[in-house]
Amino acid sequence: MKKIMFVLSLFVFSLSAFSQTNVLPMDERGKYTFLEVAELPLVKKEVMSANAKRFFKGYSKAIKLNSSEGDTAFYGKGKMVLNKSLVGVGHPTGEAKYNISLELRNGKYRLILTDFMFTPYERDRYGNFVPVAVSTALEKSPGKLNNAEWEKNVASIARESKKIADKLKATMSNTIKDPQPETKKPATISTTKW
């Protein structure tokens, strides 16, 4: 019985250790980067451009579109709030600001989230969680004392980035371009006939 309990506890421990390895890869500049390239062969380039604009408009509170190069590239800045939850009750632990880049080609697109800056939250005197004045680049090593919390934040950023990518894919896979609203001319009124 002791052997079974030991093997079972070892198995549970290995599963929990495996679930913590969801980290972001680093790019050639040494920055954590979330990259996703998706192929959508049935979607035309004009429709993809309209879908990208719809995505940025739908996420207008979390992602601000800064610039675009025609209908092929969109650049912006975003912010995600990271939550810590225990059995349904949670609170925000911090926020991560990032740069977003969306580039379109015929039948595929590339999403890049990079330059993550983490700002932890703390309670103010009213019990609200507010951001601390100091932001830290995600690449900066936190040291031994805060390493476990830092790894949880990196894993949480990776999960939130995946959620953004999934919502983008759902938006981009729409194959029908929205019809342009027709502008109706106001009815002319004849003042000569009554």
pLDDT at site 16? 46
Helix, strand, or coil (residue 45) = helix
**Average pLDDT rounded to a whole number, residues 68-81:** 87
pLDDT digits (tens, 9 = 90+) for 152-194: 888 989 999 999 999 999 988 877 765 555 566 666 766 677 6
pLDDT at position 9 is 56
Q: 41 or 88: whose pLDDT is higher?
A: 41
pLDDT of residue 166: 92
Burial class of residue 155, CB neighbours in 10 A (0-12, 13-18, 19+): middle
Quote the DSSP letter at residue 32.
B
DSSP state of 179: P
Residues 51, 56, 59, 62, CA torsion sign? positive
Q: Is 172 exposed, middle or buried (0-12, 13-18, 19+ CB in 10 A)?
A: buried
**Residue 157, SS3 per DSSP:** helix
Instruction: List C-alpha distances in Å: 132 to 25, 75, 172.
Output: 27, 27, 36
**CA torsion through residues 134, 139, 143, 147, sign:** positive
The chain-wide mean pLDDT, for the chain, equals: 80
pTM, to two decimals: 0.73
Q: How far apart are the first and last CA of the chain?
A: 100
- In this structure, which topology does domain 24-172 adopt according to CATH? Alpha-D-Glucose-1,6-Bisphosphate; Chain A, domain 4 (3.30.530)
Query: Can you tell me the mean pLDDT for 111-119?
Result: 91
- What pLDDT is stored for residue 152 in this prediction? 87
pLDDT band at residue 23 under the 50/70/90 scheme: confident
Domain chopping of the chain, boundaries: 24-172
Task: Give strand ranges (E) for 87-154.
Answer: 89-105, 108-123, 129-131, 136-137
Distance CA 150, CA 144 (A): 10
pLDDT of 105 over the 70 cut: yes
Lowest mean pLDDT among 40-54, 90-104, 156-170: 40-54
Q: What per-residue confidence (pLDDT) applies to 20?
A: 45
pLDDT at 52: 87
Q: Are 135 and 97 in contact (CB under 8 A)?
A: yes
Residue 141 has pLDDT above 60, yes or no: yes
